[in-house]
Amino acid sequence: MKRNFFVKLGFLGLLLLVSLCCGQSDKTQASKYQLLKTGAYMSIERVNIPTQQEIQTLSLQLAEIKQPELSLQAKQLESRIAVLREDVDALPASYTSRTFLNSAGPISYSIQSIPGHIVKYDAEKDKYEIMSLTRFIKDADNLKPELIQEGNIFETKIKSGSSFNGTAFIADLAVAQNQLAEVVIQDVASMIPPDSSIMKDEIKKAVEKLPADEIDKYFLVRTAMLTIINYRVFNESKFDSGISCLYITVNRKTYSSLDKMKKERKISVDLISLKNII
């Protein structure tokens, strides 16, 4: 009799434990799509690129220089205009218009973990705070990135005076005076969840309590792209047949390098305002 009593008691205890666990699971499920301050920021790198307007302005300044004593200034302007003209044509707009993540950011390691997050723009910090603990995408963990075949975007040579030198466009690679870098930019993988996977109903619920005048500060990270920057740095030198290295000639100057191609990774994202979703 006692044995049956303890068996029943143990069974009831097991049911209670299962009920508590299920209740906790339901609570977690109900709250994981809420928006809240996380203190984690998605740092965006912004790059100023040269424009035809800048070239035109400098050309007008050059045309106004007539005094012989200003010939040095004229040469400096001519040199800068030449570099800007190279820069304008160096990288396609489809690449320079991208929104790059800072490589030190909290979600910038894997492109699989980026799309589906909701972020809020902080104008004071010029950063996006991650407001979601999880991604607003169905079956997010099972989505796989798509490998890009023949994804070379551009191949160019970067000089120390280039507007791209040391910028996010070339993974912060910086070349010094009397150096140049051979750069090959290649897209290797993209993460573009299908439209049907976006959890629009959950997003609407999550933003219901937000002030109406703040909605335009919130964005969904829609896609992510992994780009590899292949580069090699050359130093200005004289040709020496006795030294086994790679030589190139640019503008009548000879450069050499003993380096193999190195690689750096960059991640860019597409952001969509929540106003366009809800």
| pLDDT, tens digit, 9 for 90 and up, residues 161-183 | 888 888 888 888 999 989 999 99
Q: What are phi and psi of 53, to 5 degrees?
A: -65, -40
Q: Report angle CA 69, 73, 78 to the nearest 5 degrees.
A: 130
Helix (H/G/I), strand (E/B), else coil: 273: strand
| pLDDT, tens digit, 9 for 90 and up, residues 95-130 | 888 888 876 666 666 888 899 999 999 988 888 998
Domain boundaries along the sequence of the chain: 35-43+101-276
**pLDDT of 184 higher than 80:** yes
CA atoms of 189 and 112, how far apart (whole Å):
10
What is the 8-class DSSP label of residue 261?
Answer: P
Q: What is the DSSP string of 139-194?
A: TGGG--PEE-TT-EEEEEEEETT-TTTTSGGGTT----TTEEEEEEEEEEEEE---
pLDDT at 35: 85
| pLDDT, tens digit, 9 for 90 and up, residues 133-152 | 889 999 888 889 999 988 88
CA atoms of 204 and 184, how far apart (whole Å):
42
Residue 159 pLDDT grade (very low, low, confident, very high; cuts 50, 70, 90): confident
Q: Report angle CA 13, 16, 22 to the nearest 5 degrees.
A: 145
Sign of CA dihedral 216, 218, 223, 228: positive
**138-141: long-range contacts at Cβ-Cβ below 8 A with a sequence spacing of 24 or more?**
138/196, 138/197, 138/199, 139/197, 140/116, 140/193, 140/197
Q: Which residue has the tokens 């996977």?
A: 197
CA atoms of 48 and 127, how far apart (whole Å):
17
Q: Which stretch of DSSP H or E encloses residue 122?
A: strand 118-122
Of residues 265, 198, 262, 272, the one with CA closest to residue 225: 265
Mean pLDDT lowest for which of 74-78, 245-249, 252-256? Answer: 74-78
**pLDDT of 220 higher than 90:** yes
Residue 200 pLDDT grade (very low, low, confident, very high; cuts 50, 70, 90): very high
pLDDT at 104: 60
Q: What's the token pair of residue 143?
A: 């989505």
pLDDT at 108: 60
pLDDT at 58: 83
Q: Which stretch of DSSP H or E encloses residue 126?
A: none
| pLDDT, tens digit, 9 for 90 and up, residues 202-211 | 999 888 888 8
Residue 83 pLDDT grade (very low, low, confident, very high; cuts 50, 70, 90): confident
pLDDT at 183: 93
**pLDDT of 13 higher than 80:** no
